Structure 1
């Protein structure tokens, strides 16, 4: 069903990235249609583009709209809180998809999203990663900005990589905060920014901690890639952190230039790392 002339359907959660994917697809000459999820997608972000707001449980309506607008490729982008089964109120097609999801409904986020990607492919759509459209939003290994991590920060990053990879194998979260070898916080359902704020309550004397944000081992890269933005940088600074390390080539930056500007202003480092080859 994939065609170079087909429209790109964007299944939009919160934040600015749905519009950035739309801009990039439009620049490639592709028609764009956005499905904004009620309670998550931001009207001001998706408003300039052809769009409809839909309930998460209205899968039949979603598929119908995507086909009506000639969508062949789909991008899932933007944070969404996992709803309870009771609150979903699925339509007939939604109930069928829930049945097809089966045990994945009770898995972690990656298990659920990977199953959803498979189902969308079975429905005839090509599911694309946001990074395929936003190549400029990912960073190659190295320091971004003017602040350099020192040896202690490198040791905390290595510790954080080990912790996040262990969490990821259990499909729990993508991030943690480490200070002087001590794990201050790990990410679960609350999301990165709330985890960072919580780490500030556990701040220890001495140099500030480091946020480490990585793709889960074996994660489906077409959904829920790690994301950082200027708000992440400001939240890290407010929590007393000294830097952010994130996975090179596999982390979306909502606004790379603004992230670097905020980090330099706050005096914290931004470091894109290859977790499989990082040595302190």
Structure 2
């Protein structure tokens, strides 16, 4: 058996059945931006798992799913999306890839979306609250099992420790600890997963703009001295099935260009897309890249 992509046929490995027959359950992939959604598709292809991709307009990369079963969806067009999901016999659902949350008018919700948003109510004030409410709705009303991308791509979250050739010095470690404190405080307000700290000063906090834009903004705010540190951790109590912290080579390049001295991520909970390339960029720039266990003793 072969599959064809970009005009090249390559063999599909035999199905690797997980315990409980997981690969027989049809997976709905709600695809946002970046390459990670395609990695989930390729994993399904390699395992012979049935799947269908819902491609979020203005978020997913154009053409990335042209060779597989898919349907473009508008965030506010919930009725059409739910109808197709039922027709496809979706059993499990994964949400993967960043999506910029639009305003309500820009979303143009249909009758089904308005019904869902009305049920959610005040819980939708923050990103995590919205995701929790939407996931709860899917599970209660439609019987889908929502799964995290980490259950499908099991080799992308680092264990604690130094990932590249360079280690943070005492000052950088102090900034990492300061960043953790700030993120822990912000978690109560359901705001952001990342912060940039330089010599104890908070240069910027991630909001709706995303991590890469945060880094670019902080480039012009750096003071003389040590370069500063990007700290990216999951919010405490975060709904990890839909919004797991994710970094890739572009973020490392942005940190390099902004003059940062390194990046600290949360061990076992942050997804690193193309880790080898991330380490290569960091090493060449003299930056450190570390995974931190927040539960470890200081």
Interval containing the TM-score (normalised by the shorter chain): over 0.9
Q: Does 1:92 align with 2:111?
A: yes
Q: Report the equivalent of 2:75.
A: 56
| Correspondence for 2:58 | 39
Distance across 2 between alignment mates of 1:140 and 1:46: 31
Matched with 2:135 is 117
> Which protein is bigger by CA-based radius of gyration?
2
SS in 2 for 1:131: helix
1: distance between equivalents of 2:250 and 2:161? 21
Q: Within 1, Cα distance between the matches of 2:297 and 2:216?
A: 26
Name stretches of at least 5 consecutive residues in structure 1 with no aligned partner: none
CA pair 101-94 structure 1, distance change in 2 beyond 3 A = same
Counterpart position of 1:25: 44
Give the aligned partner of residue 7 of structure 2.
none
Q: How far is 1:43 from its partner? A: 2.1
Q: Kindly report which structure 2 residues correspond to 1:156-235, keeping only aligned pairs within 5 A, or say none.
A: 156-235=175-254
Give the stretch that moved more between structures: 95-104 or 160-169: 95-104
Q: Which structure 2 residues correspond to residues 136-151 of structure 1 after superposition, within 5 A?
A: 136-151=155-170
- What CA deviation, in whole Å up to 9, does each residue of 1:33-52 have, x standing for no partner? 11011111112322232111
**Which among 253, 277, 287 is matched to residue 268 of structure 1?**
287
Q: How many residues align?
A: 277
Does structure 2 retain, via aligned residues, the 8 Å contact 1:140–1:248? yes
The reply to whether residue 76 of structure 1 matches residue 95 of structure 2 is yes
Q: Following TM superposition, by how much is the alpha carbon of 1:276 offset from its aligned partner in structure 2, in angstroms?
A: 2.3
Of the structure 1 ranges 225-234 and 162-171, higher mean CA displacement relative to structure 2 is found in: 162-171
Please list every run of 5 or more consecutive structure 2 residues that lacks an aligned counterpart in the other structure.
Answer: 1-19
Q: TM-score, normalised by structure 1?
A: 0.95
Q: TM-score, normalised by structure 2?
A: 0.89
**Displacement, 1:193?**
0.6
Q: What do you get for the CA RMSD once the two structures are aligned? A: 1.4
- CA distance in 1 between partners of 2:289 and 2:297 (Å): 15
What is the Cα deviation at residue 278 of structure 1? 5.4
User: What residue number does 2:4 align with?
Assistant: none
Q: Output the CA distance in 2 between the equivalents of 1:92 and 1:184.
A: 42
Task: Note the alpha carbon deviations across 1:197-222, whole angstroms, 9 max, x for none.
Answer: 11111111111100000000000110
* More moved, 92-101 vs 218-227: 92-101
Q: CA deviation at 1:84?
A: 1.4
Q: Which structure has the higher relative contact order (CA within 8 Å, separation 6+)?
A: 1
Cα distance in 2, alignment partners of residues 92 and 185 from structure 1: 38
Query: 2 CA distance for matches of 1:42 and 1:71?
Result: 23
